[in-house]
Amino acid sequence: MQAGEKIKRTKCFTPTARPPKNEKMFRFPDIERTTYWFFLLLALTSCRGDGAQDIRNYYFPLRELKEGLVYEYQPMINDSLTPAYWYYRSFFTEEGIFLTKTYYEYELAPLQLSREEVVSNGMLLEDLYLYENDSTGKQQKITVEVLSGSAFPFQVKDSSGVFLYKIQWHPVSDPEATITLIKNRRYIKDTTIVFEAEERDAVLFDVRELVEYDKEGVFEHEYSGREVYAEGIGLFYYEKKVAGDFQWAYRLKERYPMSRLEEQYMREREGGVRSEE
């Protein structure tokens, strides 16, 4: 997206929506056995003769995530920031194939939970919840309205295509206000990354975000950033420029089971208690 170009709010490429919830979807008698055929069918039906590149293998490896894995991202620019922990888990069901994402920071308390579904041409955001503390310090769950749920495209052609992600919610701290997040993703180029001493193919996306805070008038703020998705990994690197020289970036450090993160948290918590005694 060129400098000065307006963020697109509508009429961008979005994944094909799933059938209405009251319609029956395909019922698989053996989920594990038919998983391969399901993905093969998607690949065959999405083959195109217009030069589009299939990048589905650069998204999260759903087969490897059936038991769930924590992706630990380390800050790259600002050392004062804490690591970001994302727990990804896939579900292969008769209803479809889904990916859940839970975002944790300190205290191992969830800050965000989402569910995406595999559709014919990408990943479609189905549900999103945010968690915010109220005035008493108790965590409250916020249901977010998904207006356009393009989470990741399976085909890209060139840098002219824009993929629209748009959500809206009411914050606990100001329930009369409405916050709208509009995110435009644009494929830039193929690249490579190195993870655990192994070079992998990757794709680079440019990201533009617009946040609208609507209460007795609309306040808007734009952000820019980039995302790198690596083959067999998923999201490997992401950065955001907030304002002026202030920006942050995170890079994947390692992946491991949730049990390890829970044990790490318990050790740190017990260590903190002992230091206070």
Q: Domain limits of the chain?
A: 31-276
Structure-block tokens of residue 253 = 């450090």
pLDDT, tens digit, for every residue of 251-273? 999 999 999 999 988 888 776 54
Q: Fold for 31-276, please state it.
A: YmcC-like fold (2.40.360)
**3-class DSSP state of 261:** helix
**Enclosing H/E stretch for 35:** helix 31-45
pLDDT at position 50, please?
A: 63
> pLDDT-derived band of residue 243, with 50, 70 and 90 as boundaries?
confident
For residue 9, give every residue at least 6 positions away whose Cβ sits within 8 Å of its Cβ, in sequence order, or none. 164, 166, 182, 210
The mean pLDDT of the chain is: 84
What predicted TM-score, i.e. pTM, was given to this entire model? 0.83
Nearest-5° Cα angle at 89, 57 to 227: 50
Structure-block tokens of residue 195 = 């993870």
Across residues 143-149, what is the average pLDDT? 96
> pLDDT-derived band of residue 144, with 50, 70 and 90 as boundaries?
very high
> pLDDT-derived band of residue 118, with 50, 70 and 90 as boundaries?
very high
pLDDT, tens digit, for every residue of 16-60? 545 434 333 333 344 454 554 555 455 444 444 567 899 999 999
Please determine, for residue 275, whether its predicted confidence score (pLDDT) is greater than 60. no
Across residues 64-92, what is the average pLDDT? 94
- Going by C-alpha positions, the residue among 123, 121, 154 that lies closest to residue 54 is 154
For residue 275, give every residue at least 6 positions away whose Cβ sits within 8 Å of its Cβ, in sequence order, or none. none
pLDDT at position 38, please?
A: 53
- Distance CA(270)–CA(3), nearest Å, equals 50
**Enclosing H/E stretch for 263:** helix 258-276
For residue 75, give every residue at least 6 positions away whose Cβ sits within 8 Å of its Cβ, in sequence order, or none. 81, 82, 83, 84, 248, 249, 250
pLDDT at position 46, please?
A: 46
- Distance CA(175)–CA(76), nearest Å, equals 34
pLDDT at position 6, please?
A: 67
pLDDT, tens digit, for every residue of 184-221? 999 999 999 999 999 999 999 999 999 999 998 999 99
- Distance CA(49)–CA(10), nearest Å, equals 26
Centre a 10 Å sphere on the Cβ of residue 165 and count the other Cβ atoms it contains. Answer: 21
- Distance CA(276)–CA(268), nearest Å, equals 13
Least confident of 4-13, 99-108, 114-123, 252-261: 4-13
Tell me if 71 sits within 8 A of 61, measured CB to CB: no
Percent of the chain, pLDDT > 90? 65
- Distance CA(44)–CA(264), nearest Å, equals 44
Q: Beta partners for 156? A: 53
